Every structure is written in C-alpha cells, then in structure tokens.
Amino acid sequence: MRIPLAHALLTLGFSGLLAGCGGDSADTTQTAPAPAATKPAAKAAPLQVNMLLELSGGMKGFMPVTTAAQQPTAFQQLVSQLASRTHSSPAVQEARFWLVRKDAPTTVPYAHFRDVVQGDTREAALGTELPTMLEKTLALPGATSKVSVLTSDFIYGPDKPSDVALMNVRITDALAAATKNQLAVAVLGETSRFSGTYFPAVKTPRRQQTLKGATLPYYLWVLGPPAAVGRYLNEVVPASANSAEQAYFGLNFKQVPYAAVLTQVTAGSPLAPSGAGSISYAGAQASTSLEVSDVKEGVDFTVALDLSQLPAAWREPAFLAQNLRVTLPGGAAQLLPGSVRALGGTPGLDGYTHALRLHLSALPKGGATLTLALPAPGVPAWVSRWSTENDNQPGAQPRTYRLQEILNGVREAFPAQLPPVFTATFTLSAS
C-alpha cells in the first residue's frame, strides 16, 4: 500500500559518532495507519563532575575580595554560579572541587572553593603549565568517565624554549587519555575585569606588571564522555556563559529524534509537504524507505528535529543552515535556503526544537540513499582573533599567547577525518 506523504508519519532517530511551497499535494483520500510508537529515550545517568580552578598568583587578579563596595568581577560571578549549579544541580550526582597549585590538584570542600573564588586567595602558589594541568586533570581517579571542568587563564609560555615551536604537540600529548578514551573537549572563552599582577607568556620587556581594571581572557575547559559533556553544557553551565567564543572537539550525539512533518500540521501550513511530485512509504509502520514519484517536478518536505542535546552555538539556525550537508548520489537534493528555523510552541510539533525543508528534483532509477549530516566543525574563527604572538602588553581586545596553536593541538588529538556530529539516512526508490 502506498501512503501519500501528506498522511504518513515517519518517526526516526538520528545516529552519529561524535554524530518551497506551492504545487498540488498528493491525493489525501486515504487514512494513514497509526505510526509506530517511538521508544522513550533512556533516562540519562546522573553526572559525576570534577571542577578544578587554577589558584596561582596570576589568577588572583580575577578574584578580588568582594564587599558591599567591591562588586564581583565577571569571573567571580560566572565561576561562582557554575560552582553552585554543579554543587546543587539534580543532573549532577556527585561533584568534587579541586584547587590546582604547584602542579598538583588538591580536593577541597565546596564551601572552601566558593570562598577562594570570592577572594580568599591566600593559598595561591606557583602557576601550572597548561599541558601539566590537562594531564593531572585526566589522571584523577575515574576522570575518563566523569566530566572535568578546568578554569584558568591558560597563559602558556613553555619553560623550555624548544617547546614553544611545538606547543600544539605538547597539548596533543597532554590529551592522550582523552584520545584513547574517546572523550570530548569543549573550550569556552570568557573575559573579566582583572586587577592584580599579570604574568605574560612573553617575558620581554617586562616579566610582570600590575594591572588595575584591565579586561583579560580566561577559559573554561570541559572534558569527558561526549554525551555527559553535552548534558553538562546544556543543563549546568549558566546561560550567562559566553555563547559566541566556544570550540568543541569529539562531541557527538546519538538518538537525536526527528520526524518528517506530514499530518502534524494543516495542509496550508508552510511546513506541510508540497510540490508537483509526491513522496510516500509502503507499510503500516514508520519506515526509512521512501518512494518518490514525478521527482523531476519537484518534491519538498519538512523534517522536524529535536536538537536539545547540542550546544547552544550549534543550535543556532544560521549555523545549521551554513553547515548542514545533504547528499543524494546520482540524484539531486538540497536544503532549501532560509528553511532552517527554531520551533517554539508549534502545534503538532511538541518535543521538536527545529525544522528544515528538503527539496528533491532528481533520483536515479535504481534509487539511492539520501543523507542529511552535520559535519564536525574544526577550530572556529574566533580562536585566531583571540590569539597573539606577544601578550606582554594587554590591549583592548582579548588576546592569549598562541591560542591558535593550543587549540590546533586539541584538534590534532582527534582523527584527521572526524565523523559527523550526526547523520540521518533515507532510502529512496523511484515509483
């Protein structure tokens, strides 16, 4: 039995390793059978979190003593809120707090960690090189199955001059445990007022200087199993965290729900199927096998997606429109320009966050597989803007010494050809 697209509901699940309107619609006289029920998603396991803060002389300027007259810095506001949410969120089963001093993380009670962020920095010690911090973080008990959150300015001027030219390699080596255990890495760039002693990576002409109210960058690194990192970013990290300066590596999402939008909306809706051709599937249950008729006349249909697991930056319609890829070997299919949109309270599409429209205009006689995929992004453009070869004198714009090389090292810790963030496939046949 061929069920017209306008009366067939197709409910699927994306799987990943990281992973025009117009025309007459098909005959609508038949009544489609009920779609197959989708199994509810398994309840996510509670998160185990290690939250670490570098407590060095160079970090004290972000954490002045807060009083009624001394407002907290942006650093103190965000890190305090993040620590509080990590401590109290129902998504987190267990949270441990650590201070990184003299190359060694030391566990402390949450109240003590909170006091340090609010200005009790008397225990500050020598700074720790970034590769060492990453290695020590990943070496904590059970770290490869937990979410690790590391906060630092990450000013990395290698003690050995020979390491300067190989900073990316040092970072890649430091992430060996993450690579072997297929962990994800997220880097969030933030800025804050800084008043204190600044220790640049480039030591000439001055090895250090006192700054009063300068704006400096700092970073949150989140490492752990991909699904756990994604959940921590969405459910625990405050919305006030910067949404623009983010980089993600090894992040993948399985079972991202989606559905072809067929009976969920009215026939006159811009989300409804359209085109002179038709598309349908055979059988009484939901299927990924679709039949297409008169494809040369054009067939358009909408796919609704639940992308709530993805980071906020990857849920932006502009990002999706620019990065989603549609392939149909031997045929012709495309994502319609301007069709990616966020869904909010759309009747019939509860549970989905986004919609997009696909256009089919050619299909080989033997059929083909249509693939919709979001390729894994590389190092984002903001990293080069925040990178500098000389950080001795801070300027108006946030700059970190050789940040590009640092993030290149993170990228090189993962396979050269990263799998897509997610993919969806449809088997199409001509009828």
- For residue 401, the model assigns a pLDDT of 96
Task: Report the C-alpha gap between 179 and 70 in whole angstroms.
Answer: 43
Number of H helices, E strands in the chain: 9, 21
- For residue 81, the model assigns a pLDDT of 97
Q: Span 344-366, mean pLDDT?
A: 90
pLDDT at 30 over 50: no
- Least trusted range by pLDDT, from 6-10, 269-273, 412-416: 6-10
Q: Are 271 and 302 in contact, with CB atoms under 8 Å apart?
A: yes
pLDDT at 298 over 80: yes
- For residue 161, the model assigns a pLDDT of 78
Task: Report the C-alpha gap between 387 and 405 in whole angstroms.
Answer: 9
Please state, rounded to an integer, the average pLDDT across all residues of the chain.
Answer: 85
Of 303, 376, 274, which is closest to residue 10 (Cα–Cα)?
Answer: 303
Q: Would you place residue 4 in the very low, low, confident or very high pLDDT band (cuts 50, 70, 90)?
A: very low
Task: Report the C-alpha gap between 404 and 65 in whole angstroms.
Answer: 33
Buried b (16+ CB within 10 A) or exposed e, 130-142: bbbbbbbbbebee
Q: Are 282 and 289 in contact, with CB atoms under 8 Å apart?
A: yes
Task: Report the C-alpha gap between 163 and 157 in whole angstroms.
Answer: 9
CA 296 and chain centroid, separation? 38
Q: Which pLDDT tens digit goes with each residue over 128-140? A: 899 999 999 999 9
- For residue 275, the model assigns a pLDDT of 76
- For residue 423, the model assigns a pLDDT of 82
Q: Would you place residue 284 in the very low, low, confident or very high pLDDT band (cuts 50, 70, 90)?
A: very low
Task: Give me the percent of the chain exceeding a pLDDT of 90.
Answer: 61
If one compares 317 and 35, the residue with the highest pLDDT of the two is 317
How many angstroms separate the first and last alpha carbons of the chain?
A: 12
For residue 22 the two structure tokens come to 């117009």
Q: Which of 120-124, 190-194, 255-259 has the highest mean pLDDT?
A: 190-194
Q: Which pLDDT tens digit goes with each residue over 365-394? A: 999 998 889 999 999 999 999 999 999 999
325-327 and 47-54 as β-strands: parallel, antiparallel, unpaired?
A: unpaired
Q: Span 411-422, mean pLDDT?
A: 92
Cα–Cα distances in angstroms (integers) from residue 36 to residues 10, 29, 283, in the given order: 8, 21, 11
Q: What is the DSSP letter of 121?
A: -
- For residue 39, the model assigns a pLDDT of 42
Q: Span 314-319, mean pLDDT?
A: 94
Sign of the four-CA dihedral 13, 19, 21, 26 = negative
Task: Report the C-alpha gap between 335 and 359 in whole angstroms.
Answer: 6
pLDDT at 339 over 50: yes
Q: Span 43-52, mean pLDDT?
A: 90
Of 362, 359, 372, which is closest to residue 273 (Cα–Cα)?
Answer: 359
Bridge partner list, 152: 219
Q: Would you place residue 289 in the very low, low, confident or very high pLDDT band (cuts 50, 70, 90)?
A: confident
Q: Which pLDDT tens digit goes with each residue over 83-127? A: 999 999 999 999 999 999 987 899 999 999 999 999 999 998 888
The three-class DSSP label of residue 90 is coil
Q: Span 64-82, mean pLDDT?
A: 92
**163-166-168 Cα angle (round to 5):** 125
In residues, how long is the chain?
A: 431
Task: Report the C-alpha gap between 50 and 137 in whole angstroms.
Answer: 9
- For residue 202, the model assigns a pLDDT of 93
Query: What is the edge-to-edge ordering of all strands in the sheet holding 47-54?
Result: 104-108, 92-101, 47-54, 147-152, 209-224, 184-198, 246-249
Phi-psi region of 399 (alpha: psi -120 to 50; beta: other; left: phi over 0): beta
Residue type, 115: D
Bridge partner list, 107: 98
pLDDT at 350 over 90: no
Domain boundary assignment for the chain:
2-41+255-374, 47-251+377-411
